[in-house]
A and B are shown apart, each in its own frame.
Chain A
Amino acid sequence: MDLALKPEHKAFADDVRAFARANLSPATKAKTFSGKHYDKDDHIQWQKALGRQGWLAYTWPKKYGGPGWDVTQRFLFENVLAEEGAPRIIPFGPKMVGPVIYTFGSDEQKERFLPGIRSSEVSWCQGYSEPGAGSDLASLRTKAVREGDHYIVNGQKTWTSFAHWGDWIFCLVRTSPEAKAQEGISFLLIDMKTPGVTVRPIVMLDGAHHVNDVFLDNVKVPVANRIGKEGEGWTCAKFLLANERLGIAEVPSSKRGVRSLRDIARAEPANGATLADDPAFTAQIADLDLQVQALEMSELRALSTMALGGAPGPEVSSLKIRGSEIQQRITELTMEAVGEYAAPYQPGMLFQDTNETPVGPDHAPPAAPRYFNFRKTSIYGGSNEIQKNIVSKMVLGL
């Protein structure tokens, strides 16, 4: 057991840092530290740079074009990039559909889809939830009816992040309405340019547009776009959900968040000194800091199991629960640090590159919107109530 880094790992971390400094655009980096929204270019430029380096699909094995890193390298990579202010990698291609394709797809499918994901030439989005199928995903009703060598897909997907930027969408669809809920589902890849696909924005409570409704109206999808066997899409879905839950703890960005929070506390005036001199407030940051450390150690323990060949088990669900609560707490304390200057609503400062000066300090405009927006973290990717049920059933045997 050893927490210290080996020399080769130190060299690796230095490489990653040098790469980030050379390739991450200063404008993008500035958005990270000021809490502004990224536009599509911020993400894609950065992801393409990672792709050229062979690092975008950093969790993939060598065999499928990944770097084949060990868990320590992955950990360092994520942490260094977060420290350097890189945007998080949009997971739908590299972390979600990519592993599904190389695990369940045919050789042809691997050849066709994996390169575009590794290079970020192709943007993916996810078609899972439906208006009537949220926590109860298996009750989904979007149906795909076989007609010759095509499926005809009809239905509606919702909460689709970045569908307005997406080239392709991976969907769970019902191919057999007679089968039991989880048995009649298939996993389908759909080109967003296919006629009959319509995207409608959903505006969030902070005024932002990240998520969408996606309507599928007689969309013709080649049978060759189905991953795995017909009716076995649920297997892909479960594999993907388990894969997703690990990274969703967002430890590196929470560590960055705690550091920013301390910076803000040092900058915020309070009673002639700064908020960093207020023990009641700094005690709350300290409490949060300890929560992040506990979460990081839990994640490291899970990674260490994986390094020895174990698979991430259902206890990963508790990482998601605590990770989301911590992300929310960071935004809550940041807003409290800003105080009444969190009240002005300044969408220009959040969504566009404007030159107007903010009302209050630079860190003020995103404070309340981020607090509002981050309520989603305990809802998406399987709500925390669902995660607790998973732990209760799969880990505790209740």
Chain B
Amino acid sequence: MDLSLSDEQKQLQDAAERFVRDKYAFENRRKIAATEKGWLTENWAQMAELGWLGMAFSEEDGGYGGGPIETMIVMEQFGKGLVLEPFLPTVVLGGGMIAKAGSKAQKEALLPPMIEGKKQFAFAWLERQSRYNLADVSLKATKEGNGWSLSGHKGVVYNAPSADHIIVLARTSGSAREEKGLTLFVVDAKAKGITRRDYPTQDALRASELTFDKVSVGADAVLGKVDDAFGVVEDAVDHAIVALCAEATGCMDAINAATLEYIKTRKQFGVPIGKFQVLQHRMVDCFTNAQEARSMTLMASLKIDDKDSVVRRKAASGAKVQIGKSGKFCGQSAVQMHGGMGVTDELSVSHYFKRLTMIDLMFGNQQHHLTRYSNLAMAA
């Protein structure tokens, strides 16, 4: 048992820290967020050059043989800078599902360009009625000659405006909310019949509502087995959850550091407000919360590739519960301790708070994952 980083991992951490320092000073980030697509091509190219887009993939798939720990290291730094490039939808979700379920041809066609920074993905699973149930899918794919025809609606699809391919979760058989009968399709984002409504999100990312009107795809668009996608999706989402937890840990470190600095310098009643015990103890609770978040993220990153699927799922849900709880506590406390400044757009603190809030809502909030963890733990 050893929980320390290897030398290579430490170098990765340093490089990611440097990237964030150089590219994501807060005013810089504001500029990036205000651009049309909401991220920078040059930053994406640099991530490719540094090997980050391929680090978690096997050498066979054109990657560098790392895993969830490497993803954790990079995502944590991204959280510190509120990085906007679409690493999660493209690499963790899209790349992850293709590596896991793709045919040899699909992998060859999609992974190397993704690793080189030339292709991006978006994962379309949510529908208006789905809430956090990954199987609550009604977008229909029906057989059409050798291929398929997709019709229906997908919502809050992150990175859809920039993606080259949309990975669509569709119902090919079975009834509403049945886990059996779901199929993944890799669809060209510009395919005829797709209508997009793009918008920014609260935390300055980009997403879309997508309408599919008889979108025709070939048989080779199917990712994995027909009717059998649920396991692949659940696993990919669990990996994405762990990556999000790492990002949230970085956000918490940053927001705590900013708050600590603020209460040491802001003076009222003739002293820095950090001299008041009520704020000291709240600040300590923030740090304890961030510690716990870091611990659970580490635990989940170490267990997310476990052979036992119950262990994997419990790890992801357990960490998500912690991140929801700690993120809310650190975010709300940071705003409160900053006073009026905390609710303005001007300081970074409100932007971290918004990101932490949205992370809780992604792929199931604290309550959802508490229920999931509880059901898994009780069944075991």
| A contacts B directly (C-beta below 8 A) | yes
| Residues of chain B within 8 A of A75, CB atoms compared | none
The reply on B194 being an interface residue by CB < 8 A is no
Task: Give min CB distance, A381 to chain B, whole Å.
Answer: 11
Tell me the residues in window 313-370 of chain B with beta carbons closer than 8 Å to chain A beta carbons.
332, 335-336, 339-340, 342-346, 350-351, 353-354, 357-358, 361-362, 365, 367
Task: Give min CB distance, A334 to chain B, whole Å.
Answer: 12
Q: A205-B350, A272-B176, A371-B357 are in contact. Are A343 and B343 (CB under 8 A)?
A: no
Task: Give min CB distance, A363 to chain B, whole Å.
Answer: 13
Contact A373 B343 (CB under 8 A): yes
The reply on A369 being an interface residue by CB < 8 A is yes
The reply on B156 being an interface residue by CB < 8 A is yes
The reply on A129 being an interface residue by CB < 8 A is yes
Contact B367 A139 (CB under 8 A): no
Task: Give min CB distance, A159 to chain B, whole Å.
Answer: 5
Contact with B along A115-154 (1 / 0, CB 8 A): 0000000000000010011111001000000000000000
Interface residue SS majority, chain A: mixed
Complex Cα–Cα for A275 and B367 (A) = 13
- Residue among B132, B197, B201, B340 with the most chain A CB within 10 A? B340
Contact A379 B199 (CB under 8 A): no
Contact B155 A359 (CB under 8 A): yes
Contact A380 B340 (CB under 8 A): yes
| Residues of chain B within 8 A of A375, CB atoms compared | 332, 335-336, 342-343, 353
Closest residue of chain B to A202, judged by CB? Answer: B344
Task: Give min CB distance, B368 to chain A, whole Å.
Answer: 9
Contact with B along A338-360 (1 / 0, CB 8 A): 01111111100000000000011
A341 in complex: contacting residue of B156, B176, B177, CB < 8 Å: B156
Contact with B along A367-398 (1 / 0, CB 8 A): 01101110110111001110010000000000
Contact A271 B177 (CB under 8 A): yes
The reply on B195 being an interface residue by CB < 8 A is no
| Residues of chain B within 8 A of A268, CB atoms compared | 131
A344 in complex: contacting residue of B201, B267, B339, CB < 8 Å: B201
Closest residue of chain A to B273, judged by CB? Answer: A135
A359 in complex: contacting residue of B197, B270, B353, B371, CB < 8 Å: B197
The reply on A269 being an interface residue by CB < 8 A is yes
Closest residue of chain B to A135, judged by CB? Answer: B268
Contact A339 B202 (CB under 8 A): no
Closest residue of chain A to B129, judged by CB? Answer: A269
Contact with A along B121-165 (1 / 0, CB 8 A): 000001011011100100000000000000000011000000000
Closest residue of chain A to B136, judged by CB? Answer: A271
Contact B133 A372 (CB under 8 A): no
Complex Cα–Cα for A344 and B203 (A) = 9
| Residues of chain A within 8 A of B128, CB atoms compared | 269, 341, 360-361
Contact A345 B268 (CB under 8 A): no
- Residue among A158, A268, A343, A345 with the most chain B CB within 10 A? A343
Contact B357 A368 (CB under 8 A): yes
Contact A368 B202 (CB under 8 A): yes
Contact B268 A134 (CB under 8 A): yes
The reply on B113 being an interface residue by CB < 8 A is no
The reply on B207 being an interface residue by CB < 8 A is yes
The reply on A27 being an interface residue by CB < 8 A is no
Q: A205-B345, A369-B202, A372-B350 are in contact. Are A129 and B340 (CB under 8 A)?
A: yes
Contact B207 A343 (CB under 8 A): yes
The reply on B63 being an interface residue by CB < 8 A is no
| Residues of chain A within 8 A of B346, CB atoms compared | 202-203
Tell me the residues in window 212-229 of chain B with beta carbons closer than 8 Å to chain A beta carbons.
none
The reply on A4 being an interface residue by CB < 8 A is no
Contact A134 B197 (CB under 8 A): no
Task: Give min CB distance, A396 to chain B, whole Å.
Answer: 15
Complex Cα–Cα for A343 and B365 (A) = 13
Complex Cα–Cα for A211 and B344 (A) = 10
The reply on B253 being an interface residue by CB < 8 A is no
- Residue among B199, B204, B279 with the most chain A CB within 10 A? B199
Task: Give min CB distance, A201 to chain B, whole Å.
Answer: 10
Task: Give min CB distance, B119 to chain A, whole Å.
Answer: 24
Complex Cα–Cα for A150 and B61 (A) = 80
Starting from the known contacts A139-B268, A372-B350, A385-B278, 17 additional A-B residue pairs (CB-CB under 8 Å) come to A205-B344, A205-B351, A271-B131, A271-B133, A339-B131, A340-B361, A341-B128, A341-B156, A343-B202, A343-B207, A343-B362, A345-B202, A368-B202, A372-B354, A373-B343, A375-B335, A376-B343
Can you list 17 A-B pairs with a CB-CB distance of less than 8 A? A134-B268, A136-B268, A136-B270, A204-B345, A205-B353, A271-B136, A272-B177, A281-B367, A336-B365, A341-B128, A342-B202, A343-B203, A345-B199, A345-B204, A359-B199, A368-B358, A372-B350
Q: Which residues of A contact B (CB under 8 A)?
A: 129, 132-136, 139, 158-159, 202-205, 207, 211, 268-272, 275, 280-281, 335-336, 339-346, 359-361, 368-369, 371-373, 375-376, 378-380, 383-385, 388
Q: Which residues of B contact A (CB under 8 A)?
A: 126, 128-129, 131-133, 136, 155-156, 176-177, 197, 199-204, 207, 209, 267-270, 273, 276, 278-279, 332, 335-336, 339-340, 342-346, 350-351, 353-354, 357-358, 361-362, 365, 367, 371
